[in-house]
Amino acid sequence: MAGARTTTSWCSHCGVGLAAPPGSASSVRCAFCHRVTRVEHHRGVGESAITLAAPSPPRPPCSARRELPAGYPRVSGKKRALLVGVSYTGTPHELRGTVNDVKEMRRLLCDKFGFPSGCILELTEKETDPYRVPTRENLLLAMRWLVEGCAAGDSLAFHFSGHAVQKLDSNDDEMDGYNEALCPVDFEQSGKILDDEINETIVKPLGRGVKLHAIVDTCHSGTILDLPYLCRLSRTGYRQWENHCRPSGMAKRPNGGLAISISGCSDDQKSADASGFSESASIGAMTDSFIKAVEAEPGTTYGRLLSAMRARIRDGQGSRRLAGRFGSFVRRMIPSNSVVQEPQLCSSEPFDIYRKPFLL
């Protein structure tokens, strides 16, 4: 006999979807804004219905209400990817190379990891489909597409190349007191996407057996997915996991799955492009180092991958300052974190980075 179904309603404060299982309390705390919404349960035939007790709640955000665009890929198989490159064309924030980042990531996913080309969704300003332009609303829709309907054994990839910023934390769940936020192309008009919202959209829905890798090439990107564990490089050069869960904050783990992020720099650092030392066209330094490291050593571990990325970024940025043996000597003597962005690894659960193979 089928059990009672969980019914989704909306937070009466911020509009995010709420799920209340049958027999739950009459109040539900929103995982995003942490406000409480009162609910009433009415038993129907074979299901549990839920009604908001608060009068006239606001309409949920457009990204939560709308169906996914018909032009988005219809996924078949166990792998799918969302690749986003934001150029901010014609603005003071314009970036070069983000479209190249997307093209190179598509090539890597298809050639090295067997991602079907038809299961990859790209958002750039070069797209003619208006739903594939990286606006705030489209980006949230595309994130929903990435995780919707995923099942055990699925491998998901999210790549973002563009700007990110830090904002003061308002709910006391950040170790350093700042939220990190991605900047869509229309961020000045429609707002940024906070790490809390990213976590709620593509991390929390991951069920048991589902794996997500996020490759984020932006400034201030170390903990951009708000994952609880950060792999920190010690003074001895050995990486160790740090628990970044605030005692007062809610756990931001998947619903049984695994989420891993590899980002271009720590939360307090800025990223660079690689146009000055890459043989390819203009491309983000982090994206370039990631692709070259993966291609140089197939089946590498997470630890070796980070070390190879760090070495390539260090040598590339250093070569633009001092060349030859003297430049090499200076780069060895100066602490890397004082001059060069440091790739970061975060995860929803700790693991041995020196033994676990990197696989998408």
- Please check the confidence at residue 116 and state whether its pLDDT lies above 50: yes
Share of the chain above pLDDT 70, in %: 63
Confidence class for position 10, pLDDT limits 50, 70, 90: low
Over the stretch 162-204, which tens digit does the pLDDT of each residue have? 998 866 665 655 555 577 889 999 999 999 999 889 999 999 9
Q: What pLDDT does 180 receive? A: 85
Beta bridge partners of 207: 255, 256
Whether residue 342 contacts residue 336, with contact meaning beta carbons closer than 8 Å, is answered with: yes
pLDDT at residue 152 in the model: 95
Give the ranges where the chain is alpha helix by DSSP (H). Answer: 62-65, 98-113, 136-147, 187-190, 195-198, 285-296, 302-319, 324-333
Which residues are marked as active site?
163, 219
pTM of structure: 0.74
Provide the CATH number for the domain formed by 79-347 in this structure: 3.40.50.12660
> What are the residue boundaries of the structural domains of the chain, listed by start?
7-60, 79-347
> pLDDT for 31-42, tens place per residue?
555 556 665 433
| Residue 98 CB-half CA count within 13 A | 28
